[in-house]
Amino acid sequence: MPICNITVKVKNNAFLYIDCDDKGILHELAEYFTFFVPNYKFTPQFRNKMWDGKIRLLNMRDQSIYAGLFGYVKAFCIERNIKLDTWDDPSTIKYNHPGFVYDDDMSWFETLPIPHILRDYQVEAIQHGIRTRSGLLVSPTASGKSLIIYLLMRYFLAREEDKVLIIVPTTSLVKQMYGDFCKYADNDDSFFVTDNCHEIMAGLDKGHKTKRVYISTWQSIYKMQKGYFQQFGMVIGDEAHGFKAKSLTSILTKCTEARYRFGLTGTLDGTQTHKLVLEGLFGPHKNITTSKALIDRGDLANISIDIILLKHNDEACKLVKDMKYQDEVDWIVTNDARNKFIKNLALDQKGNTLVLFQYVEKHGEPLFRLIDEAAKGLWGIGKRKVFFVSGKVPADIREEIRAITETEKDAILVCSYGTFSTGVNIVNLHNIIFASPSKSQIRVLQSIGRGLRKTKQDTILYDIADDLHWKSNKNYTLNHSGERVKIYAKEKFKFKIHEVKLL
């Protein structure tokens, strides 16, 4: 016999309501959905004792939980022999029923005149989306996620009357998504992007009377009141790995009328907390394909990784050994010998080269000047073009630079991680240099994705690591380079480590 009952009701498309006749079990369920946030000990809120470092996905005040976590509630009940009751009939209400599978015609998208032959995994992703109306679709960079978004959007527009909200992290991606849609609809007389899609970013209107598709940065709309979001029957989050931030989750939880909810990403950060928050907002995750699978079948470029381990001298190692993490990073990115090595490495490459940095003023701008001056040569008439991109560069200029690169054969792009590591399509890219230290799985994999688009030659990634260890004391960024090696091994990328003595 079941020890008790747990009742789940659909509150709206964002939340479920959970009740239980045994309050002890309800508290146990709350603990089941309580986790420490990664690196919580380093946050100001924890250090100032304003927060215990935990995230609680079940709100005990109103007994609500993200709708996408229904499967985990069900697993909790099965493990503990608890009877699970659901009170809502999905055939009689307008909201999604957790776990319900819809029976729809899957052949509709085959009739759309798109200029691409759909790959098998793209078809699978679209069919999954139609069947479930929600979900977190995990598929690597360059696997055609914008086409998946476009076809799911077209399906919704043909069958529903509400509007569609597509959220992206940067203004560059607003323009890129809009441009992709134009390409997909180029031969389609039944759908004109200019008539249907509205771009929202800094300085542009938050709405349009006739257009049904809004493509927006999250920064442009997260402060809007809940009533604004009631017009959307579909919400899609591109590069969804960024949706754990409070401002982003607030958008998704205010979209209570959005019956269709999809998140698309190429990477998750590997933590349970991150995965559960995203699944709660969008629905259960589905792995569509992997970079390794696409490389093996020839859809993506081969990539080789050369880890350049810079061996610093004893004087530098002694200087750094007692530094805090941020002080060490500041010392590294402002080190003249290191930046000259990166300059020479970039200039030695054949083909288009992307140099990625983290800090604009203290690293990116000086590094750009160093490379640009060397590329111009003594008389300032060098043949190589060098471009600089950071958040300070307007979105339309960034898009121009990206477009120019596709026609260049030997350009160098010095770009911040924030602008060019996530989502931006650079078709004609041959070399990537990680100029700034990082251990973020998302940042590393997203950055690698810039070089996986198919070209006539393979892609080389140069991962710059810094060995500043003194005796048994390993420096922070050396440990972080070890974390990147683990990521490469997990993703089955080929890599070699080369020790270079930095003079």
Tens-digit pLDDT profile for residues 311-369: 999 999 999 999 999 999 999 999 999 999 999 999 999 888 989 998 999 999 999 99
Domain boundary among 258, 289, 320: 289
Q: Is 67 exposed, middle or buried (0-12, 13-18, 19+ CB in 10 A)?
A: buried
For 6, how many CA atoms within 13 A lie in the half-sphere containing its CB? 26
Confidence check: pLDDT of 384 > 90: no
pLDDT higher for 453 or 267?
Answer: 267
Handedness of CA 78, 83, 89, 94 (dihedral sign): negative
Q: Which residues, other chains included, contact 61 with Cβ-Cβ below 8 Å and sequence gap of 6+?
A: none
Domain residue limits at 117: 108-289
pLDDT higher for 176 or 452?
Answer: 176
Greatest mean pLDDT among 198-207, 255-264, 383-392, 419-428 lies in 255-264
Q: Which residues pair with 234 in a beta bridge?
A: 164, 260
Confidence check: pLDDT of 419 > 90: no
Q: What number is the average pLDDT over the span 432-449?
A: 72
Q: Are residues 254 and 330 in the same domain?
A: no
DSSP H or E segment with residue 74: helix 70-79
pLDDT higher for 164 or 351?
Answer: 164
Which token pair is 480? 């972080």
Q: Are residues 270 and 316 in the same domain?
A: no
Q: Are residues 153 and 281 in the same domain?
A: yes
CATH value at residue 43 = 3.30.780.20
Confidence check: pLDDT of 426 > 70: no
Which token pair is 243? 């949706």
Band the pLDDT of 94: cuts 50, 70, 90: very low
Q: Are residues 172 and 306 in the same domain?
A: no
Q: What number is the average pLDDT over the span 471-499?
A: 88
172, 419 contact by CB (below 8 A) = yes
CATH value at residue 136 = 3.40.50.300
Residue 102 lies in a domain: no
| Pair type for strands 54-56 and 34-36 | antiparallel
Confidence check: pLDDT of 63 > 90: yes
Tell me the CA distances in angstroms from 55 to 29, 264, 274, 277, 284, one per residue in order. Answer: 14, 23, 10, 10, 19
Q: Are residues 260 and 346 in the same domain?
A: no
pLDDT for res 116 = 83
Band the pLDDT of 146: cuts 50, 70, 90: very high
Residue 430 lies in a domain: yes
Handedness of CA 407, 410, 414, 419 (dihedral sign): positive
Type of residue found at 133: R
Owner of token pair 């307007």: 394
Confidence check: pLDDT of 77 > 50: yes
Percentage of residues in the chain having pLDDT higher than 90:
44
Domain boundary among 237, 267, 289: 289
pLDDT higher for 290 or 382?
Answer: 290
The Cα–Cα gap between 67 and 15 comes to 5
Angle between helices 120-132 and 145-159 (to 10 degrees): 40
Residue 232 lies in a domain: yes
Please state the domain count of the chain.
Answer: 3
Residue 98 lies in a domain: no
222, 248 contact by CB (below 8 A) = yes
Band the pLDDT of 92: cuts 50, 70, 90: very low
Confidence check: pLDDT of 106 > 70: no
Q: What number is the average pLDDT over the span 174-201?
A: 92
For 80, the 3-state DSSP assignment is: coil
Q: What number is the average pLDDT over the span 231-242?
A: 87
For 493, the 3-state DSSP assignment is: coil
Band the pLDDT of 296: cuts 50, 70, 90: confident
Q: Are residues 20 and 148 in the same domain?
A: no
pLDDT for res 237 = 92
Q: Are residues 117 and 138 in the same domain?
A: yes
Confidence check: pLDDT of 440 > 80: no
Residue 101 lies in a domain: no
pLDDT tens, position by position, 210-227: 899 999 998 899 999 999
Provide the 10 A C-beta neighbour count for residue 206: 13
Lowest mean pLDDT among 47-56, 250-259, 431-440: 431-440
Band the pLDDT of 90: cuts 50, 70, 90: very low
Lowest mean pLDDT among 74-78, 108-112, 137-141, 384-388: 108-112
The Cα–Cα gap between 19 and 16 comes to 10
Confidence check: pLDDT of 474 > 80: yes
Residue 66 backbone phi and psi in degrees, to 5: -55, 135
Q: Are residues 69 and 216 in the same domain?
A: no
pLDDT for res 104 = 63
Q: What number is the average pLDDT over the span 154-182?
A: 91
Type of residue found at 385: K
pLDDT for res 492 = 81
Residue 97 lies in a domain: no
Q: Are residues 321 and 262 in the same domain?
A: no
Q: What number is the average pLDDT over the span 387-416?
A: 83
Band the pLDDT of 95: cuts 50, 70, 90: very low
Residue 381 lies in a domain: yes
Q: Are residues 22 and 44 in the same domain?
A: yes
Confidence check: pLDDT of 102 > 70: no
Lowest mean pLDDT among 1-15, 182-196, 242-256, 446-460: 446-460
Q: Are residues 357 and 490 in the same domain?
A: yes
Q: Are residues 245 and 142 in the same domain?
A: yes
Q: Which residues, other chains included, contact 386 with Cβ-Cβ below 8 Å and sequence gap of 6+?
A: 368, 371, 372, 375, 411, 412, 413, 414
Which CB contacts under 8 angstroms, 24+ apart, belong to 97-101?
A: 97/10, 98/8, 98/10, 98/16, 98/67, 98/70, 98/71, 99/70, 99/71, 99/74, 101/131, 101/132
pLDDT for res 403 = 75
Residue 334 lies in a domain: yes
Residue 228 backbone phi and psi in degrees, to 5: -60, -35
Provide the 10 A C-beta neighbour count for residue 197: 22
The Cα–Cα gap between 290 and 443 comes to 17
The Cα–Cα gap between 276 and 279 comes to 5
Confidence check: pLDDT of 125 > 70: yes
Percentage of residues in the chain having pLDDT higher than 70:
87
